[in-house]
């Protein structure tokens, strides 16, 4: 399946250079199960070529499709393993009322989600006020995606509940990356760098992933720690 979006698929799948930090994870991706362009296995294959070892597929979810998404992803785990990728079944809770976030996050975990992402209060969409706060205070949420102008209070809640704040490469959503980094560092939050990929051209090689972190204000040492985060160990620490 060949498409063009942003950079060409051929460019996005170039092998990484040895001197660069290899991107070992992406916790926020989309497929044809919702609004993405790639079949789930195509996404996994392209990520494997780029050197990724851990990938979460987190298609948009609410109460109507959450269980079906997770059941489908469970069936993909063996195929992902053949490409050397640990697939983490997940969802991105999107535009759900803040009061429903804890219940849906718990339901997702009960149905096999390894990663629960919440679609944060990006400046690009009319996300309900209070979404960031509800996500940051929920033990069943793992990542708050593109949290926009997140407040120091919400970041402190995220640190307390071990919810990672996302630094994103997604166009538009990434406008507030610098603010997110400053607030996250001040609050002691874990950060993750994700692509929020919808098409082949959105996938990040090692150089691009490092540029996202450095461009957001992380120094080289900080960026290296974020990019090389051992997701499996991090998830175990969160339990």
User: What is the C-alpha R_g of the chain?
Assistant: 16
CA distance 72 to 77: 10
3-class SS at 216?
Answer: coil
3-class SS at 172?
Answer: coil
CA distance 136 to 142: 9
For residue 17, report the phi and psi dihedrals to the nearest 5 degrees.
Answer: -80, 150
- At the second CATH level, the architecture of 23-238 is Alpha-Beta Barrel (3.20)
Q: What is the pLDDT along the chain (239 residues), one digit of tens a residue?
A: 444 444 444 444 444 444 455 668 999 999 999 999 999 999 999 999 999 999 999 999 999 999 999 999 999 999 999 999 999 999 999 999 999 999 999 999 999 999 999 999 999 999 999 999 999 999 999 999 999 999 999 999 999 999 999 999 999 999 999 999 999 999 999 999 999 999 999 999 989 999 999 999 999 999 999 999 999 999 998 86
What count of other Cβ atoms lies within 10 Å of the Cβ of residue 141?
27
CA distance 153 to 238: 20
């Amino acid at each position: 399946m060949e498409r063009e979006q942003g950079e060409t698929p051929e460019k996005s799948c170039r092998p990484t250079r040895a001197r660069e930090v290899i991107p070992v994870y992406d916790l926020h991706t989309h497929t044809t199960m919702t609004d993405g362009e790639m079949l789930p296995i195509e996404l996994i294959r392209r990520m494997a070529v780029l050197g990724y070892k851990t990938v979460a597929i987190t298609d948009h979810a609410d109460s109507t499709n959450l269980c079906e998404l997770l059941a489908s992803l469970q069936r993909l785990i063996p195929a992902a393993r053949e490409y050397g990728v640990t697939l983490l079944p997940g969802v991105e809770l999107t535009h759900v009322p803040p009061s429903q976030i804890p219940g849906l996050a718990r339901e997702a975990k009960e149905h096999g989600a390894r990663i629960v992402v919440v679609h944060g209060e990006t400046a690009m969409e009319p996300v309900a006020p209070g979404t960031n706060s509800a996500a940051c205070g929920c033990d069943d949420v793992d990542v708050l995606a593109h949290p926009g102008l997140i407040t120091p209070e919400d970041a402190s809640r995220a640190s307390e509940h071990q919810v990672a704040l996302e630094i994103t490469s997604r166009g538009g959503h990434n406008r507030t990356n610098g603010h997110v980094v400053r607030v996250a560092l001040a609050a002691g939050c874990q950060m993750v760098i994700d692509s929020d990929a919808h098409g082949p051209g959105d996938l990040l090689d090692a150089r691009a992933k490092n540029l996202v972190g450095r461009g957001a204000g992380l120094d080289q040492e900080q960026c290296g720690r974020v990019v090389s985060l051992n997701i499996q160990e991090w998830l175990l620490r969160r339990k």
